[in-house]
């Protein structure tokens, strides 16, 4: 506590020193105000600056931040396209290339294996290259992967393309939420990072709809279009101010922050807070994987890794990757099922984007897990009744409601919120190693689920979803007792809170 108190005192002195040096401070009364510390700004200028803050003194959302976030989450759109591809292309690929169930399971799951490889290096790459150049690299992998799939003549080329696509997607899954969390104002950070999930749903919906009408080869060419658009857009966004501050590029950090907050906004307080936090992180030293398991980092590590494990072990990746086969098993037309899913996925993701900073992370996560658990249980019952020949006319309806409800519940919370929390809870000196570990955990479990999903369904469809329902119930308990609320706090405040919790 004494160390934190000294940091706050040092921060205040740094801010006042900067103001004295650059603005020649003098105290005086102003006829139009009750009295304030004049900072060399005219009264008109003072009022202009205040216009860019809300009643709580928080910086308002600028057009620049909105446009930059939109450009960045175009990469999330590419992730959604890649995720939805294996579901709608399954029938066409199996027919044209005569693949077995095991071969197509490999094709469907190898993207998560590529994502695992990308996740291993995601933190280090984004730390060395910067967030912006890392996104350029991701698109190189994604575009090459789509091209390989489009030109594939056998399973080997399909798997290579899907694997390369997975590497790009794996790195994206780390760098996009981290970049948005580092540029967004704290009172809307949750909504902005949740836009990552929203755009994934856009890509998923697009492929679920058009995949019913075009061939799998042409669909992979369509997947290349957002990659090209994203590359063009990346030329117009600034680097993350926190990444620049970490490497001592203070002038560029302030320029980036000014661009994000608006040219009429006084950014000195935020810039100095970032700089002071970076100085403290550098004094602690860059933390490797061994040092990551020190007592002060255990709590955020449990939160990050725990949420990713529970997200995947609840069966989410399997349901999304093989939604068509779930409908077919239950006797419901897969084309209708995927089209309805695509129609509602974007609106419900928009709801999540709107309410995440109103309801809070914890409430939304627990509500999401409750919905996933109930619908997984309903699907388990549906398949169980089907196996015993009981109420066969209701099985298609139960299957449709269960799969649809499960995916809606997932997208409202567990789909995007673990990534939001991951981007918030780790200090800069451990963000590389901790973020990498958390992302690797997600992709490793995702690969296990997607590879074994079809095999589990052949073993016992009802038992598989009973297990997934149980995991969702465990998730509610974990979130209630372990996960803190991060809504409305700056990144620096969240990290201080978690640091205090272990003392």
- 364-373 tens-digit pLDDT: 999 999 999 9
Q: In this structure, what token pair is assigned to residue 32?
A: 């139009």
Can you give the pLDDT at residue 174?
86
pLDDT digit string (tens) for 324-333?
888 888 888 8
Q: What is the DSSP string of 307-356?
A: HHHHHHHTTHHHHHHTHHHHHHHTT--HHHHHHHHHHHHHHHHHHHHHHH
160-182 burial, b if ≥16 CB within 10 A, otherwise e? Answer: bbbbbbbbbbbbbbbbbbbbbbb
Cβ distance 46 to 177 under 8 Å? no
Q: Which residues contact 164 (CB under 8 A, 6 or more apart)?
A: 114, 141, 142, 144, 145, 148
Write down the residue that tokens 């990757």 correspond to: 321
The pLDDT-based confidence of 49 (bands split at 50, 70, 90) is very low
Alpha carbon distance, N-terminus to C-terminus of the chain: 10
Lowest-pLDDT choice from 48-57, 242-251, 462-471: 48-57
pLDDT digit string (tens) for 5-40?
444 444 444 434 433 333 333 333 333 333 332 333
- Segment 303-314 shows an average pLDDT of 93
User: Three-class SS of residue 143?
Assistant: helix
Can you give the pLDDT at residue 283?
61
Q: Backbone phi, then psi, for 487, in 5-degree steps?
A: -60, 135
Cβ distance 310 to 471 under 8 Å? yes
Q: What stretch of H or E contains 397?
A: helix 395-412
Q: How far from 330 is each of 105, 323, 324, 326, 445, CA to CA, in Å?
A: 20, 11, 10, 6, 26
CATH number of 61-237: 1.20.1250.20
Provide the residue ranges of all domains of the chain, joining segments of one domain with +. 61-237, 294-502
Cβ distance 170 to 122 under 8 Å? yes
User: Three-class SS of residue 426?
Assistant: coil
In whole angstroms, give the CA distance from residue 86 to residue 101.
13
**Two domains, one topology: 61-237 and 294-502:** yes
Q: How far from 177 is each of 104, 240, 245, 299, CA to CA, in Å?
A: 31, 12, 18, 21
Is CATH 1.20.1250.20 the right assignment for the domain spanning 294-502? yes
- Segment 483-491 shows an average pLDDT of 78
Alpha helices for 216-294 (secondary structure H): 216-234, 241-246, 250-261, 268-284
Can you give the pLDDT at residue 51?
45
More confident residue, 7 or 73: 73
Can you give the pLDDT at residue 274?
80
pLDDT digit string (tens) for 488-498?
777 767 777 77
Can you give the pLDDT at residue 138?
95
pTM for this predicted structure: 0.70
């Amino acid at each position: 506590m004494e160390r934190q108190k000294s940091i706050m005192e040092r921060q205040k002195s740094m801010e006042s020193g900067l103001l004295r040096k650059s603005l020649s401070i003098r105290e005086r009364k102003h006829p139009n105000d009750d009295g304030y510390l004049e900072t060399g700004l005219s009264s008109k200028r003072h009022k202009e600056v205040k216009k860019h803050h809300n009643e709580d003194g928080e910086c308002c959302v600028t057009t620049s931040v909105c446009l930059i976030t939109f450009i960045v989450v175009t990469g999330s759109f590419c992730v959604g396209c890649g995720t939805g591809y294996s579901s709608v292309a399954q029938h066409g690929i199996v027919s044209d290339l005569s693949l077995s169930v095991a071969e197509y399971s490999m094709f469907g799951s190898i993207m998560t294996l590529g994502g695992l490889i990308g996740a291993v290096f995601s933190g280090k790459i984004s730390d060395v290259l910067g967030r912006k150049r890392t996104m350029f690299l991701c698109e190189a992998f994604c575009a090459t992967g789509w091209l390989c799939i489009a030109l594939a003549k056998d399973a080997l080329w399909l798997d290579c393309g899907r694997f390369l696509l997975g590497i790009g997607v794996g790195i994206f899954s780390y760098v996009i939420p981290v970049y948005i969390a580092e540029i967004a104002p704290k009172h809307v950070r949750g909504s902005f990072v949740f836009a990552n999930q929203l755009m994934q749903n856009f890509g998923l919906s697009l492929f679920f709809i058009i995949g019913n009408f075009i061939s799998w080869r042409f669909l992979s060419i369509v997947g290349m279009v957002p990659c090209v658009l994203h590359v063009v857009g990346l030329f117009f966004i600034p680097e993350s101010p926190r990444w620049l501050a970490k490497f001592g590029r203070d002038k560029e950090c302030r320029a980036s922050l000014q661009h994000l907050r608006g040219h009429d906004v006084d950014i000195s307080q935020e810039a100095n807070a970032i700089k002071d936090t970076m100085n403290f992180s550098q004094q602690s030293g860059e933390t490797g994987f061994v040092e990551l398991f020190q007592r002060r980092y255990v709590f955020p590590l449990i939160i990050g890794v725990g949420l990713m494990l529970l997200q995947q072990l609840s069966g989410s990746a399997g349901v999304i990757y093989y939604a068509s086969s779930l409908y077919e098993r239950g006797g419901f037309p897969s084309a209708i099922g995927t089209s309805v899913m695509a129609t509602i996925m974007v609106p419900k993701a928009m709801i999540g984007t709107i309410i995440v900073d109103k309801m809070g992370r914890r409430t939304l996560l627990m509500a999401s897990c409750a919905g996933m658990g109930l619908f997984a249980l309903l699907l388990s019952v549906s398949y169980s009744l089907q196996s015993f020949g009981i109420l066969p006319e209701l099985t298609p309806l139960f299957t449709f409601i269960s799969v649809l409800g499960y995916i809606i519940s997932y997208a409202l919370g567990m789909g995007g919120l673990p990534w939001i929390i991951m981007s918030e809870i780790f200090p800069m000196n451990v963000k590389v190693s901790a973020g990498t570990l958390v992302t690797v955990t997600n992709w490793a479990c995702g690969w296990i689920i997607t590879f074994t999903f079809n095999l589990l369904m052949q073993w016992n469809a009802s038992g598989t979803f009973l297990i997934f329902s149980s995991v969702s119930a465990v998730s509610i308990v974990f979130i209630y007792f372990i996960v803190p609320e991060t809504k409305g706090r700056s990144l620096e405040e969240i990290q201080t809170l978690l640091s205090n919790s272990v003392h």
